[in-house]
A and B are shown apart, each in its own frame.
Chain A
Amino acid sequence: MNFLKIDGVRFRQGEWQLEVDLEAKRGGCIALIGPSGAGKSTLLSLIAGFEQPNQGTIFVGEERIDTQAPARRPVTMMFQENNLFNHLTLYQNIALGCHPGLKLTEEDRELIETAMAATRLGALQSRKPADVSGGERQRAALARCLCQRRPLLLLDEPFTGLDPQLRVEMHELVDELRKTHALTVIIVSHLPHEVARIADSLAFMLGGKILKAGPADAMLSHPENPELAQYLRFTSAG
Chain B
Amino acid sequence: MGLPVVMPVIVAVFGIVAVYGRSGLLNFLLQPTGISMSFELYGLTGILLAHTFFNLPLAVRLLLPAWDQITNENWRTASTLGMSSTQLFRFIEWPALSTFLPGVIVVVFLLCFTSFAVVLTLGGGPAATTIEVAIYQALRFEFDPAQAAVLALAQLLLCAGTALLLIRWMRVLTQTSGRKSDSRARPDTGARAGKLFDFGVIGLCGLFVFTPVAALVISGLQGPVAAVLLDTDLWQAAARSLGIALMATSLAGIIALGIATTARFLVLERRQKNAKEGLLLAGSLTLAFPPMVIGTGFFLISLHLKAVDTLTLLMIAVVNALMVLPYILRSIAPVLIDSGQQYQKLCAQLGLSGWHRFRQVDWPMIRKPAAFSLALGGALSFGDMGVAALFDTTGHITLPVMLYQRMSAYRFDEAAVTALALVLMCVALFWILDRSLSR
Which residues of A line the B interface, CB within 8 A? Answer: 48-50, 69-72, 75-77, 79, 82-83, 85, 87-88, 96-97, 100-102, 148
Contact = CB atoms under 8 A, between A and B. Distances in A.
A226 to B, nearest CB: 35
Given A77-B345, A96-B360, A101-B355, 5 more contacts: A50-B348, A70-B349, A87-B365, A88-B364, A97-B350
Contact of B349 (A76, A101, A102): A76
B342 interface: yes
Nearest 4 CB-CB pairs, A to B? A71-B351, A70-B348, A100-B356, A87-B364
A45 B154 CA distance: 54
A213 B368 CA distance: 51
Nearest to A141: B346
B343 interface: yes
A200 B349 CA distance: 26
Nearest to B344: A50
Contacts of B160: none
Contact of A79 (B345, B351, B356, B359): B345
B352 to A, nearest CB: 5
A49 B348 contact: yes
Nearest to A92: B360
B361 interface: yes
Contact of A85 (B343, B348, B353): B343
20 contacts: A48-B345, A48-B349, A50-B348, A70-B349, A71-B348, A71-B350, A71-B353, A75-B349, A76-B349, A82-B342, A82-B345, A85-B343, A85-B346, A87-B364, A96-B350, A96-B352, A100-B356, A101-B356, A102-B360, A148-B350
Given A71-B351, A96-B360, A100-B351, A79 B365 contact: no
A214 B351 CA distance: 35
Interface string B322-366: 000000000000000000001101101111110111011100110
Contacts, number: 52
A26 B189 CA distance: 63
A194 to B, nearest CB: 25
Nearest to A75: B349
Nearest to A99: B356
Contacts of A100: 350-353, 356-357, 360
Contacts of B350: 71, 96-97, 100, 148
Nearest to A96: B350
- The A contact surface, by secondary structure, is loop
Contacts of A76: 349
B348 A69 contact: yes
Contacts of B343: 82, 85
Contact of B359 (A69, A70, A101): A101
Contacts of B352: 96, 100
A225 B355 CA distance: 51
B348 A83 contact: no
Interface of B: 342-343, 345-346, 348-353, 355-357, 359-361, 364-365
A220 B74 CA distance: 45
A148 B351 CA distance: 11
A95 B350 CA distance: 11
A82 B356 CA distance: 19
A85 B349 contact: no
Contacts of A82: 342-343, 345-346
A184 to B, nearest CB: 17
A85 B339 CA distance: 10
Contacts of A50: 345, 348
Contacts of A83: 346
B270 to A, nearest CB: 13
A136 to B, nearest CB: 18
Contacts of A87: 364-365
B361 A85 contact: yes
Contacts of B353: 71, 100
A101 to B, nearest CB: 5
A88 B349 contact: no
A154 to B, nearest CB: 10
Contacts of A97: 350
B360 A101 contact: yes
Contacts of A88: 360, 364
Nearest to A102: B360
A171 to B, nearest CB: 22
A97 B346 CA distance: 11
B360 A79 contact: no
Contacts of A69: 348
A97 to B, nearest CB: 7
Nearest to B367: A87
B355 to A, nearest CB: 8
Nearest to B364: A87
Contacts of B359: 101
Contacts of A75: 349
B348 A79 contact: no
A77 B349 CA distance: 8
A57 to B, nearest CB: 21
Nearest to B342: A82
Given A71-B351, A96-B352, A101-B356, A79 B364 contact: no
A69 B345 CA distance: 11
A102 B348 CA distance: 16
Contacts of A49: 348
B37 to A, nearest CB: 54
A18 to B, nearest CB: 18
B308 to A, nearest CB: 45
